[in-house]
Structure 1
Amino acid sequence: MTEFGRFLRTETVGGSILLAATAIALLAANGPWADAYLTLRDTAVGPHFLHLDLTVGDWAKDGLLALFFFVAGLELKRELVVGELSRLKNALLPVIAAIGGIVVPALVAVGIGWGDPRMAQAWAIPVATDIAFALGVLALTASGLPSSARVFLLSLAVVDDLGAILLIAILFTGSFDLVAAGAAVALLALYWFLQHKRVRTPWVHVPVAVATWVAVHSCGVHATVAGVALALLTRVRTDPGEEESPCLRLEHRLQPWSAGLAVPVFAFFAAGIPVSGDALGRLFTDRLAVAIIAGLVIGKLVGIVGAALLAVRFKFAALPSDLGKRDLVAVAMLGGVGFTVSLLIADLSLDGPDMELAKGAVLVASVLASLLAAVLLMRRNKARSAG
C-alpha cells in the first residue's frame, strides 16, 4: 500500500476532499465558468445499448456512488461478522437508531411541508446520513472519544443509507425489467459462488461486478444497490494461511478510490447549484427548504437519540460501556449531515428550481449539523480529558 493510499484512507482527508469538491462546484456554478460546468455535467457519454448513454453527472451519481456504497458495505459487513457489532445487542443499537433517524426526519419534513405537492416525493430527502462527511467531522473533532463512537456512527450511517437506497429503489423505479433483474440475481449468485470457492483473481471478479452493476441499472433499480449487494456477499473470515480476507483486502484497495475520487466527483457534479440573494432568502422562507433543513438538523437528532435510548431502556439493545449518553447525543448530531445521498434523492425527486432549492437546503442543513456536532464533540473531548 502506498503512502498516498494511507493518506486518502483517513476520514479526515476524505472529508476535506469532499468539502473542497463542494466548494469548487459552488464556485463553478456561480462564476464565469457556469456554462462550461453545466455543459460538462450534462454531456452524454456511453452507448445507447442497455441505457448506458448517461450524462457525466449521471455517471457520477449511478456509477461512482456504487463504488462508495460497496466500500461502506464491506466495512459494515466486517463489523457485523468479526467486529464490535458481532454481538446481537450491540448490532441492534445502530440499526434501531438508524430507523429512528429515518422515520422522525421524514415525519418532521411532512409535518412542516403538509399540503405542499412537492413533498409527495421530497419527504425522503432528509432521511440519509453522509458517511464520508460525518466520519470526517468525527475524526477531526473527537479524537478523545472511544472507537465505539466511530463504529456506532459508521453502522448508523450505513444502515441509514441502505434505508435511503431502499426508498430510492421503491420511489424512483419508473419501469422494471424482469429479464435484467433476473440477470442481476444470477450474477450476484455467481459472485457468491466465486467467493465460496475462494476464487481470488480480479480478472473474474471485476467483470462479474461490472456486469452486475449494468444489470441492476438496466432493470430500473438505482445502480448503487449493486454495490451494497456485492459487499454483503463478500467473504469476511480469513482462511488458514491467508493474510487478509477478501473483504479487508478490497476495503484497503478501494477505500482511497472511494474517498479520493468517487465521492468528491459526485459532490462536484451534485453540489453545483446557482446561489443568488433570492435563492438564499428562499432557503429560510420556502416550506420545502425549511422542511428539509428541520428534518435533517432536528429530526435526525431526535430520531436517532430517542430510538437509541428507548432501545436501551427496554433492553432491546445495549449502549457500549465506554460510550455515555452525552457522547451519543454529540455523535447523533452528525446524523444531520445528509449531503451525498440526500443530494441524490433531491436530484431524483425534483426538477428545475425546486431541485436546486432542495439541494441548497441540504447543503445548509449539512453545514449547520456539522458545526453543531463539532461544538458538542469538542466539549465531550474536553470533558473526557478533564475527567
Structure 2
Amino acid sequence: MAAAPRERSLFLGLLPLPERNAVVQALRTETVGGLVLLAAAVVALVWANTPWSGAYEQIRDFHFGIPALGLDLSVEHWTADGLLAIFFLVAGIELKRELVVGELRTPATAALPVVAALCGMIVPAAVYAATVTAGGGSLEGWAVPMATDIAFALAVLAVLSTHLPASLRAFLLTLAVVDDLGAILIIAVFFTSDLNFAALGGAFAGLAVIHLLQRFRVRGWWWYVPLGVVTWALMYNGGVHATVAGVAIGLILRTTRDKGETASPAERTSHLLHPVSAGVVVPLFALFAAGVGVSGAALGQVFARPEPLGVVLGLVIGKTLGIFAGTYLAARFTKARLNPELAWADVFALAVLAGIGFTVALLIGELAFPDPAASEHIKAAVLIGSLIAATLAALLVKRRNGIYRRLYEEENRDDDNDGIPDIYQRADTAER
C-alpha cells in the first residue's frame, strides 16, 4: 500500500496561540520603539542641518569615561558600543526564543525564513560588490546593506495604520532575528581590531560564570548586572565589538520555565529591557548616528560615488530580490505552501520593506569606514536607501490593506469575550 503524501505546512497561515501572543507582545514594543526611533532620526537630521549643527557635533564628540580602563569614549561611541549592547542582548534573547520555541525550533519550520534571510543578506552584498567593482570603488562596505531594521520597518507599518496579520509580522520578525544573527557574526569576524587575548579570556570567563549561574538557578540582578558590565568592558578591550557580549549573554539566558515559574530568566530580562532597548537605546543611537548633512552636494555624492550608490542599490534592489527569491525557492522546493488568503504580492511587499536598514546598517557603516568623510556618505546612503524602500513598501502595502484588514479582524474577533480569539476555538473544534 502506497504511503500517503506528506501534508504540506501552511506558510503565513494561522500561528499557534502561544506563538501569536509572544509575537504580538514583542511587536507592540517594537512598533512603539520604532516610532520613537523615527522621531529621533528626524530630530538628528534637522539638528545637523541647522545653524545649531555645531552644538550637535560638540555633544556627539564629547568624551568621558575611565581612561585607565580603556573606556574614554565619545557620546557617539558610548551609544554605539555601550548602549547598543542592550539592543543586542534583547536580540540574543529573541534569537534564543525562536530557536527553542519559535519558528526556528525545527528544521522544517526554520528552512523558509532562514533561506529567505540568508538570500536577503547575500544578494545585497553581491549587488554592492558589483556596483563598486564596476565603479572602481572599495569593497569595504559590502556588509552595510545586509541588515534589516525591524523597529523602523514596523514604525512604517504603524504610520500606515495597516492591519497586517500576525503571520506576516511574525515572518518579518523571524527574518530580522536571523538577519541580526548574521550581522553579529559579521561584526565579530570581520570588524575586529587588534586582539587582546588576555581581555578576551576574561570576557569568556565572565560568560562562563553567567552560564554556571543560570545552570544552578542562581537568581538576583546583583550577580548578573556587574558580571554583564565587566564582560562587556573586557570584550571591548579585547578588540571584539562590545555588542557581541550582549548577544552572547542573551543566548546564555534560560528561556524554558522550571516547574512553578511564571517566567523564565530570559522572559523576565526581555520584559524589563525590551522597552528600554526599543524606546531609549536605539533612538539615542539614531540621534547621534543619523545626524548627517543633506545638502544638494552631499546627496549628489551618494549617487556619484560607487560605495554609497552600492549601499542604496543593495538595500532597495538587493534586499527585495534576495528575500523574495529566497522565499519563493524555499516554498517551491520544501513542504511549505502559501496561505491561500494571501498572495506573493504580500511577500514582495515585505521583501521591499526589509530594505529599511537603519540601526545595524549605520553601525556597520561606521565600522567599515572609519574616515569621517566617507562615513558621512555611507550614512546618507543608508538613510536614502531606507527612505526609498519605505516609500515603495508603503505603496505596495496600501494596495493590499483591505485584504489585511479583513484577515486581521477575523484573526482578532472575540465575540464571547473570553480573551481567546474565536478563530482558535473553531480550529480546536475542527481538530476534535
Query: Which category describes the TM-score, using the shorter chain as reference length?
Result: over 0.9
Q: Does the CA-based 8 Å contact 1:125-1:345 persist in structure 2?
A: yes
Q: Does the CA-based 8 Å contact 1:142-1:378 persist in structure 2?
A: no
Q: Does the CA-based 8 Å contact 2:137-2:306 persist in structure 1?
A: no
Q: Does the CA-based 8 Å contact 2:195-2:238 persist in structure 1?
A: yes
1:18-56 per-position Cα deviation (integer Å, ceiling 9, x unaligned): 111111111221112211111111111111233211111
When residues 322 and 246 of structure 1 are mapped into structure 2, their CA distance, relative to the original with a 3 A threshold, is farther
* 1:98 and 2:110 aligned: no
Q: Where do residues 43-192 of structure 1 align in structure 2 (5 Å cutoff)?
A: 43-114=62-133, 118-141=137-160, 143-192=162-211
Shift of 1:361: 0.8
1:288-327 per-position Cα deviation (integer Å, ceiling 9, x unaligned): 2221111000000101111122122221867678764332
When residues 277 and 308 of structure 1 are mapped into structure 2, their CA distance, relative to the original with a 3 A threshold, is same
Q: Return the alpha-carbon distance in structure 1 between the equivalents of residues 362 and 381 of structure 2.
A: 10
Q: Does the CA-based 8 Å contact 2:119-2:323 persist in structure 1?
A: yes
Q: Which deviates further from its counterpart, 9-18 or 135-144? A: 135-144
Provide the alpha-carbon RMSD of the alignment: 2.2
Q: Return the alpha-carbon distance in structure 1 between the equivalents of residues 137 and 247 of structure 2.
A: 29
Q: Secondary structure at the match of 1:199?
A: coil
Q: Does the CA-based 8 Å contact 1:141-1:374 persist in structure 2?
A: yes
1:327-359 per-position Cα deviation (integer Å, ceiling 9, x unaligned): 222212121111111111111122132211111
1:152-181 per-position Cα deviation (integer Å, ceiling 9, x unaligned): 211211221221222222222120111111
Q: Does the CA-based 8 Å contact 1:297-1:333 persist in structure 2?
A: yes
Q: Which deviates further from its counterpart, 331-340 or 70-79? A: 70-79
Which of residues 286, 298, 312 in structure 2 aligns to 1:267?
A: 286
Aligned to 2:50: 31
When residues 248 and 49 of structure 1 are mapped into structure 2, their CA distance, relative to the original with a 3 A threshold, is same
Q: Return the alpha-carbon distance in structure 1 between the equivalents of residues 275 and 368 of structure 2.
A: 30
Please give the TM-score of this superposition, normalised by the length of structure 1.
0.92
Which of residues 321, 327, 333 in structure 1 aligns to 2:346?
A: 327
Aligned to 2:400: 380
Which of residues 261, 268, 274 in structure 2 aligns to 1:255?
A: 274
Shift of 1:369: 0.9
Q: Secondary structure at the match of 1:46?
A: strand
When residues 316 and 68 of structure 1 are mapped into structure 2, their CA distance, relative to the original with a 3 A threshold, is farther
Unaligned runs of 5+ in 2: 1-24, 408-432
When residues 30 and 355 of structure 1 are mapped into structure 2, their CA distance, relative to the original with a 3 A threshold, is same
Q: Return the alpha-carbon distance in structure 2 between the equivalents of residues 386 and 268 of structure 1.
A: 37
- Report the AA paired with residue 382 of structure 1: G
Q: Return the alpha-carbon distance in structure 2 between the equivalents of residues 133 and 379 of structure 1.
A: 20
Q: Does the CA-based 8 Å contact 2:149-2:356 persist in structure 1?
A: yes
Q: Return the alpha-carbon distance in structure 2 between the equivalents of residues 227 and 92 of structure 1.
A: 26
Bigger radius of gyration among the two: 2
Q: Which deviates further from its counterpart, 111-120 or 341-350? A: 111-120
When residues 321 and 61 of structure 1 are mapped into structure 2, their CA distance, relative to the original with a 3 A threshold, is farther
Q: Does the CA-based 8 Å contact 1:8-1:259 persist in structure 2?
A: no
Q: Secondary structure at the match of 1:230?
A: helix
Q: Does the CA-based 8 Å contact 2:164-2:405 persist in structure 1?
A: no
Aligned to 1:353: 373
Q: Does the CA-based 8 Å contact 1:135-1:154 persist in structure 2?
A: no
When residues 164 and 125 of structure 1 are mapped into structure 2, their CA distance, relative to the original with a 3 A threshold, is same
Q: Return the alpha-carbon distance in structure 2 between the equivalents of residues 164 and 84 of structure 1.
A: 19
Q: Which deviates further from its counterpart, 210-219 or 89-98? A: 89-98
* 1:229 and 2:251 aligned: no
1:96-140 per-position Cα deviation (integer Å, ceiling 9, x unaligned): 111111110011011111155652211221111112112323445
Q: Secondary structure at the match of 1:45?
A: strand
Shift of 1:270: 0.4
Aligned to 2:384: 364
Q: Return the alpha-carbon distance in structure 1 between the equivalents of residues 251 and 339 of structure 2.
A: 25
Shift of 1:72: 2.0
Which of residues 193, 218, 230 in structure 2 aligns to 1:199?
A: 218
Which of residues 326, 331, 348 in structure 2 aligns to 1:307?
A: 326
1:340-387 per-position Cα deviation (integer Å, ceiling 9, x unaligned): 111111111221322111111100111111122222223233234568
- Report the AA paired with residue 294 of structure 1: L
Shift of 1:227: 1.1
Q: Secondary structure at the match of 1:293?
A: helix
Aligned to 1:3: none
Unaligned runs of 5+ in 1: 1-5
Shift of 1:85: 3.4
Q: Where do residues 265-304 of structure 1 align in structure 2 (5 Å cutoff)?
A: 265-304=284-323
Shift of 1:280: 1.8
Q: Does the CA-based 8 Å contact 1:149-1:323 persist in structure 2?
A: no
Q: Does the CA-based 8 Å contact 1:177-1:219 persist in structure 2?
A: yes
When residues 277 and 134 of structure 1 are mapped into structure 2, their CA distance, relative to the original with a 3 A threshold, is same
When residues 133 and 192 of structure 1 are mapped into structure 2, their CA distance, relative to the original with a 3 A threshold, is same
Shift of 1:86: 2.6
When residues 53 and 319 of structure 1 are mapped into structure 2, their CA distance, relative to the original with a 3 A threshold, is farther
Q: Which deviates further from its counterpart, 50-59 or 128-137? A: 128-137
Q: Does the CA-based 8 Å contact 2:79-2:285 persist in structure 1?
A: yes
Q: Return the alpha-carbon distance in structure 2 between the equivalents of residues 16 and 31 of structure 1.
A: 23
Q: Does the CA-based 8 Å contact 2:292-2:380 persist in structure 1?
A: yes
Q: Does the CA-based 8 Å contact 1:93-1:319 persist in structure 2?
A: no
Q: Secondary structure at the match of 1:54?
A: strand
Identity %: 51
